[in-house]
Amino acid sequence: MKIYRIGATAFVDNEGSYRKREIVDWTTFINRDGLHEFLKKEIVDWKETDGSFLDLNRFDPPIDNQEIWAAGVTYERSKTARMDEAKESGGSVFYDMVYDAERPELFFKATAQRCVGSGDEVYIRKDSTWNVPEPELTLLINSQGSIEGYTIGNDMSSRSIEGENPLYLPQAKVYEKCAALGPCIYVPKSPIPTTTRIYITIERDGKTMFNEDVAISKIKRDFGELVSFLFRECDFPQGVFLMTGTCLVPPDDFTLKVGDKISITIDGIGKLVNHVGKK
């Protein structure tokens, strides 16, 4: 089942049959144990609709007041890219260490206010010379620490700022429109399969600049392990979204430009599309 949010209305796609209803409190709606089972029963009373809403090219991010966190250096490709970018600053060693350490890298990525949905613009920092999207499978975790759904995340990043000094990570990662989530929350009956693939395409003036894909089985860490570290000393009364890290890194001579189109697809979930805009 997939939940899309358009304004105050939730649309549920239940394997090709569609229902909709106005949702007064999005947090109460998504933050629960057994979201899949709940939805199955709940939507019986919702209004039937057709699938034409899927033709819209904009969806609200499926978030209310949850925090967005991110895991880093969870794939080998992320480790090597960051070791290269931090060579001059002497920061490479930290990426190497964290990849093998027991404690994963977890960082605060965004408030809902800094997050956009599919069809919205994301921004790049004006004080950054090297900017990339990071396509990441994103977990919806409820307040009890249980993974209830999945969405697509874009962890927009400044590689020049991050490379200058690893201590600049919050500035490389957190700024206006630095995160995108969507187009929906995928709520399967069982955990997403490890054969699931993530695909990214970056287009400029209709020309493909970067196109790659990877299976999530390449991840070094278990999702349960990431969640358990995240919940160690933090409570999330409304639930939380956790981006699980990137494995798809454009070549070092590539940087995003205003107008670029970023399309991220994840099997089973759908496609998150954003253009790079300007503040």
Task: Using CB under 6 A, pick the residue from 82, 125, 159, 177 that binds ligand DO4.
Answer: 82
78 binds, among ligand DO4, Mg ion, none (CB under 5 to 8 A by kind): ligand DO4
Q: Does 118 bind ligand DO4 (CB under 6 A)?
A: no
Residue type, 35: L
Count of residues in contact with ligand DO4, rule CB under 6 A: 13
Contact of 250 with 238, CB cutoff 8 Å: no
Q: How many CA atoms lie within 13 A of 43 on its CB side?
A: 22
Contact of 40 with 71, CB cutoff 8 Å: no
CA distances from 214 to 77, 95, 200 (A): 11, 21, 9
What residue is closest to ligand DO4 based on CB? 72
Q: Does 104 bind ligand DO4 (CB under 6 A)?
A: no
CA distances from 249 to 69, 81, 108 (A): 20, 7, 21
Return d(Cα 79, Cα 65) in angstroms, integer: 31
Task: Using CB under 5 A, pick the residue from 85, 134, 162, 164 that binds Mg ion.
Answer: 134
31 binds, among Mg ion, ligand DO4, none (CB under 5 to 8 A by kind): none
Phi, psi dihedrals of residue 83, rounded to the nearest 5°:
-65, -40
Q: How many CB atoms lie within 10 A of CB 126?
A: 8
Q: How many CB atoms lie within 10 A of CB 203?
A: 16
Q: Does 66 bind ligand DO4 (CB under 6 A)?
A: no
Q: How far is the CB of 267 from ligand DO4 (least distance, A)?
A: 19
Q: Does 159 bind ligand DO4 (CB under 6 A)?
A: no
Task: Using CB under 6 A, pick the residue from 67, 134, 148, 164 that binds ligand DO4.
Answer: 134
Which is nearer to Mg ion, 66 or 246 (by Cβ)?
246
Q: How far is the CB of 83 from ligand DO4 (least distance, A)?
A: 10
CA dihedral of 177, 203, 259, 160, whole degrees rounded to 10: 60
Which is nearer to ligand DO4, 26 or 69 (by Cβ)?
69
Which is nearer to Mg ion, 85 or 155 (by Cβ)?
155
Q: Which residues bind Mg ion (CB under 5 A)?
A: 134, 155, 246
Interface residues toward ligand DO4, by CB under 6 A: 70, 72-74, 78, 82, 105, 134, 155, 162, 169, 245-246
